[in-house]
Structure 1
Amino acid sequence: MKLSHPSRFAAALAPLVLILAACSGEPEPTPAEKAAAAAVPGAPPSAAENLKAANAVASNVREEGELFEFAYSYPKEAAALPGLAEWLDADRAAKRDALAAESRRDQALAKKEGFPYRPHSHLQAWQRVTDTPRFLSLSSEISTYTGGAHGMTNFDTLLWDRNHAARIKPLDLFVSGEAFDAAIRDDFCAAIKRAKAAKGIQPPDEADSVFAKCPPASAQTIWLGSSDGRRLDRMTIAIAPYEIGAYAEGDYRINLPVTAALLRAAKPEFAADLRAGR
């Protein structure tokens, strides 16, 4: 998304329909799905946790002025988990303070050098990918602007492990990044080629382009999802601009199932929380 001014893309973050068909916009589990999920190993929510979840309210903080524009939100599922909500609030405060400091510095420099100052921005929204008995999986798209020709889009991800009340990354479920890459490399690289072809982009010549090589999937942002609300069985790999193509190509969302090969790369303690998807 080309961002010539932060206010033009603020509204675009609100819906954040990010993960397309493979990992986003999951409906509320049906009674049958909830019953099936109860049989999956993990820490079932207590009555107190259920009450907190019922009363939780999504967090959406926005601040806009002549110096900067800042927005940070997360869903009610995250607000219902005190440890996670505390981390998200701290992350929000740190990013807001960093944006304010950078904006004041650049505004002072613009005044000193005699050129116009363009308000900076940091707009970030966390979205629920899936909520299984053990994991709450969140995705995040981050749009930033620091006064240049255009803004930038980046991504983030996290899993909240209810068994340990801890925040982890999707790659933590696997024995190593290298094992993760080896398990999905062929499917991942083939999917990138299809995604580029869908945009009408021909594969670059390996001798002429820095974008010719297929990058390691582990170096990108991984969003883990579930088709049944029980186990993690699919993923979206989000690739920011400039990673596999010119800025004009935009970002890419590569949707892949969890495969048998990927299951073999999982750490034993997470084997029951994953399954091969279709």
Structure 2
Amino acid sequence: MTLLISHRFAAALVPAILLVTACSGEPEPTQAEKAAAATVLGAPPGANDDVKVANAAASNVKESSDLMEFAYSYPKEAAEIPKLAEWLDQDRATKRDALTAESRRDQALAQKEGFPYRPHSHLQAWQRVTNTPRFLSLSSEIETYTGGAHGMTNFETLIWDRNKTVRLKPLDLFTSGKAFDAAIRTDYCAAIKRAKAAKGIQPPDEELPDALESVFAKCPPASAQTVWLGSSDGRHLDRLTIAIAPYEIGAYAEGDYRINVPVTAALVRVVKPEFASEFRAAR
């Protein structure tokens, strides 16, 4: 499928833009590329068999100049849903416009104040988490830089409901954020401790006063983070990852965290009745 981009939007981009669209004549991916693609969260068993189709980038817009660097991509499955592709295209245009305005403002300020300007950036890639008969679940990692000491990593998420033809947030599938948090808190908090230990970071001293611990919440509400829902069989939602950006639970040097949490019967019980049949407890 070839992505068509409006003349108005294309004309707004500088000549440095490179538009890459999926096509049937692309070269066969290597085994290493297949293996890497099949590790995407939620890829069902046998994903290697279809990884070329499932992970082909249907839209990949890139731009680089002395002013800024911008990139935005989304996969073939999203491009095949017109309403979703329309929203993604608009999201891309909005974010590019915001980056352009901010970059021009800061460049002008740098020239006025006599200090070097560092090109700003927004690099965002949407990837398939899973594609069930009803839902297309997408995750997005965003790398930004606005001229400071370092860049920043953030995350986004969305689910397309084919039955309702609407874009949803993962938490829309649950009775409430509070119920979601309560159902996974024990597993989620324990997983954060394990993830920190794997990085050689000791947990906070339990005897410290709350005021000394408040800089980084030991276990912030999962509902306040980015939730990715995946599938192990390509039919039911039975995988859950909480993506946590830098500074949320630790210093910038710790980086981000991807916390895998089991989909339990307790979690399935707080799914809205209309979506209950789409879930399956892993334990």
TM-score, normalized by length of structure 1?
Answer: 0.82
Structure 1 segment 199-218 matched on structure 2, within 5 A: 199-205=199-205, 206-207=208-209, 208-209=212-213, 210-218=215-223
Gap change, CA 1:57 and 1:22, over 3 Å in 2: closer
- Asked whether the equivalents of residues 18 and 24 of structure 1 are also in contact (C-alpha less than 8 Å), the reply is no
- Asked whether the equivalents of residues 183 and 262 of structure 1 are also in contact (C-alpha less than 8 Å), the reply is yes
Gap change, CA 1:123 and 1:215, over 3 Å in 2: same
Q: CA RMSD in A?
A: 2.4
- Asked whether the equivalents of residues 263 and 271 of structure 1 are also in contact (C-alpha less than 8 Å), the reply is yes
Residues 1:272 and 2:242 are matched in the alignment: no
Residues 1:227 and 2:232 are matched in the alignment: yes
CA–CA distance in structure 1, aligned partners of residues 37 and 174 of structure 2? 22
CA–CA distance in structure 1, aligned partners of residues 255 and 166 of structure 2? 33
Q: Could you tell me which residue of structure 2 aligns to residue 248 of structure 1? A: 253
Q: Could you tell me which residue of structure 1 aligns to residue 124 of structure 2? A: 124
Deviation string, structure 1 residues 223-274 (Cα, Å, up to 9, x no partner): 0000000110011100000000000000000011211000111100000001
What letter is aligned with 2:246?
P
Gap change, CA 1:20 and 1:197, over 3 Å in 2: farther
Residues 1:192 and 2:192 are matched in the alignment: yes
Compute the displacement of 1:213 (Å): 2.8
Structure 1 segment 6-25 matched on structure 2, within 5 A: 23-25=41-43
CA–CA distance in structure 2, aligned partners of residues 68 and 275 of structure 1? 44
CA–CA distance in structure 2, aligned partners of residues 19 and 245 of structure 1? 29
Gap change, CA 1:20 and 1:217, over 3 Å in 2: farther
CA–CA distance in structure 2, aligned partners of residues 67 and 75 of structure 1? 27
CA–CA distance in structure 2, aligned partners of residues 92 and 187 of structure 1? 35
Compute the displacement of 1:142 (Å): 0.2
What letter is aligned with 2:125?
A
Gap change, CA 1:188 and 1:96, over 3 Å in 2: same
- Asked whether the equivalents of residues 71 and 123 of structure 1 are also in contact (C-alpha less than 8 Å), the reply is yes
Deviation string, structure 1 residues 20-48 (Cα, Å, up to 9, x no partner): 968255566699xxxxxxxxxxxxxxxxx
Percent identity among equivalent residues?
Answer: 77
Q: Could you tell me which residue of structure 1 aligns to residue 268 of structure 2? A: 263
Gap change, CA 1:213 and 1:18, over 3 Å in 2: farther
- Asked whether the equivalents of residues 38 and 48 of structure 2 are also in contact (C-alpha less than 8 Å), the reply is no
Deviation string, structure 1 residues 32-89 (Cα, Å, up to 9, x no partner): xxxxxxxxxxxxxxxxxxxxx99x9610000100000000000000000001000000
- Asked whether the equivalents of residues 120 and 144 of structure 2 are also in contact (C-alpha less than 8 Å), the reply is yes
Gap change, CA 1:20 and 1:147, over 3 Å in 2: farther
Q: Could you tell me which residue of structure 1 aligns to residue 150 of structure 2? A: 150
State the number of aligned residues: 241
Compute the displacement of 1:167 (Å): 0.3
Unmatched segments (≥5 aa) in structure 2: 1-32
TM-score, normalized by length of structure 2?
Answer: 0.80
CA–CA distance in structure 2, aligned partners of residues 26 and 228 of structure 1? 5
CA–CA distance in structure 2, aligned partners of residues 143 and 264 of structure 1? 35
Compute the displacement of 1:19 (Å): 11
Residues 1:60 and 2:78 are matched in the alignment: no
- Asked whether the equivalents of residues 183 and 261 of structure 1 are also in contact (C-alpha less than 8 Å), the reply is yes
Question: Higher relative contact order by CA 8 Å / sep ≥ 6: 1 or 2?
Answer: 1
Unmatched segments (≥5 aa) in structure 1: 1-14, 32-52
Compute the displacement of 1:106 (Å): 0.2
Gap change, CA 1:20 and 1:251, over 3 Å in 2: farther
Structure 1 segment 32-47 matched on structure 2, within 5 A: none
